[in-house]
Amino acid sequence: MTQLDPARRTQVFQALRAQHIETPSWAYGNSGTRFKVFAQAGIPRTPYEKIDDAATVHQLTGVAPSVAIHIPWDQVDDYAALARYATDRGIRIGAINPNLFQEDDYRLGSLCHPDPSVRRKATDHLLECIEIGQLTGSDVLSVWVPDGTNYAGQDSITGRQDRLHDALREAYDRMPASMRLLLEYKFFEPHFYSMDVPDWGTSFAHCLRLGEQAQVLVDTGHHAPGTNIEFIVATLLREGKLGGFHFNSRNYADDDLMVGAADPFQLFRILNEIVAADALAAEANVAFMLDQCHNLEPKIPAMIRSVLNVQEATAKALLVDRDALRTAQRDGDVLGAHAVLMDAFNTDVRPLLAELRADAGLDPDPIAAYHRSGYQQRIEAERVGGSAMGWGA
Ligand code: PSV
Ligand code: MN
Ligand code: MN
């Protein structure tokens, strides 16, 4: 690796320390495909045990201090107690994810359903999640609307948009000033003719109407193949409307594989836009969240791997020589400009990140440290009869 001068090294280390990567509670539970859920040993039996796992990932990586929860998958009697449990373990509750897709009532949609009583039920669930956010000290309501239609003519496209706006408006108006509503989009599935929030443009339009506390959530797995996601990221950043990410990898559809596994270069290009816009630190309010399912691989090491992958892409983006890039771009030096990016992308940042961890008193190799810790053996012994939670539950 090219040696960094001390001032630059300090800058890069500071930027890396400021980045927080949120892990999702549902990725610690058993998951699978529509064909089969393969149960693993040591799976959490309660939301509390999911917090234990998320806290373990944070202890080992130092950059994953919050965990997103999904309601009702993570339903408990006392949310303030759940938040205290997290704080006692060195993390906090992150985004609250409502579930609008697992009730029979939602066959024709939730917030966009033609029947007002179903819309009422779905909107009430958003309100409940806002309350849970207040009880847990969360400042993000993360909304994915699974609504859509399967056949042309099945319902009015415009009517559904109007209903969606009304429901989101009600939720938005209920949020405290400290909370943001992040509206996720997805181009297909579970519906195959139209989704009601299929793309960033639709999400953006709704967020604009709602107000400043509404922003777009980019799930990297929710685009058509070949989509230039970093262009979307750059555009949203310019407009102050990038609320955050759900990072994962996709090869075909919404695969929810480990981030950086399928296309590390894409992840780097996305992080490059973030760094170029100076949007890495917490003040920029871009939430770096993971949304993954580990169907085959062991959950906790996979989560650590994912956090490290985001960190590696970020480190590479921080190594881009911005002055050289600007000069090459100004001079119309196409190959030169591209080479500046590729130099950074091709840098092996693992020694740098190992140093960063050692500086923070962490093990330079978090995955090896996990395997040595005995944590896996302990949860496998203790959590007998772990239930399937989250996907495939
Ligand atoms: C469904 O596509 C989905 O994967 C969305 O990405 C949500 O964020 C996630 O489920 C959790 O509800
Ligand atoms: Mn998502
Ligand atoms: Mn998804």
Tens-digit pLDDT profile for residues 166-184: 999 999 999 999 999 999 9
Q: What is the pLDDT of residue 384?
A: 85
Per DSSP, helices labelled H in 211-263 are: 229-238
Tell whether ligand 1 has an atom less than 6 A from the beta carbon of residue 144.
yes
Task: Render pLDDT for 56-65 as a digit per residue (tens, 0 to 9).
Answer: 999 999 999 9
Residue 60 included in any domain = yes
| 186 close to ligand 1 (CB < 6 Angstrom) | yes
Assess if residue 389 is contained within a domain.
no
Residue 217 alpha carbon, nearest atom of ligand 1: 8
pLDDT in tens, 288-343: 999 999 999 999 999 999 999 999 999 999 999 999 999 999 999 999 999 999 99
Q: What is d(CA 162, CA 156) in angstroms, rounded to the nearest whole number?
A: 10
The per-residue pLDDT for 3 is 76
Task: Let me know if residue 4 belongs to a domain.
Answer: no
Among 142, 219, 222, residue to substitute to test ligand 1 (most atoms within 8 Å of Cβ): 219
The lowest-confidence range among 21-25, 32-36, 177-181 is 32-36
Buried b (16+ CB within 10 A) or exposed e, 25-46: bbbbbbbeeeeebeebebbbbe
Give the CATH number, domain containing residue 29: 3.20.20.150
CA 105 to CA 119: how far, in whole Å?
A: 10
Does the pTM surpass 0.90? The reply is: yes
Residue 282 pLDDT grade (very low, low, confident, very high; cuts 50, 70, 90): confident
Q: Which tokens is 329 given? A: 């771009």
Residue 39 within a domain: yes
Query: Does the pLDDT at position 388 exceed 90?
Result: no
Contact 290, 303 (CB under 8 A): yes
Give the ipTM of the model, two decimals please.
0.98
Q: What is the percentage of the chain residues whose pLDDT exceeds 70?
A: 97
Which residues, 6 or more positions from 299, have their beta carbon under 8 angstroms from its beta carbon? 27, 28, 40, 43, 53
**pLDDT tens for residues 104-128?**
999 999 999 999 999 999 999 999 9
Please choose from 246, 252, 255 the residue to mutate so as to test ligand 1's pocket, defined by most ligand atoms within 8 A of CB.
246
* DSSP summary character for residue 313: H
Cβ-contact 247, 310 below 8 angstroms: yes
- Identify whether 319 is part of a domain: yes
Q: Is the peptide bond before 225 cis (omega within 30 degrees of 0)?
A: no
In a domain, 133, yes or no: yes
- Give the residue numbers spanning the domain of 158: 19-382
Total of domains in the chain? 1
The verdict on residue 13 lying in a domain is no
Pairing of strands 194-195, 148-149: antiparallel
Supply 33's token pair. 């495909």
pLDDT at 58: 98
Query: What's residue 393's pLDDT?
Result: 39
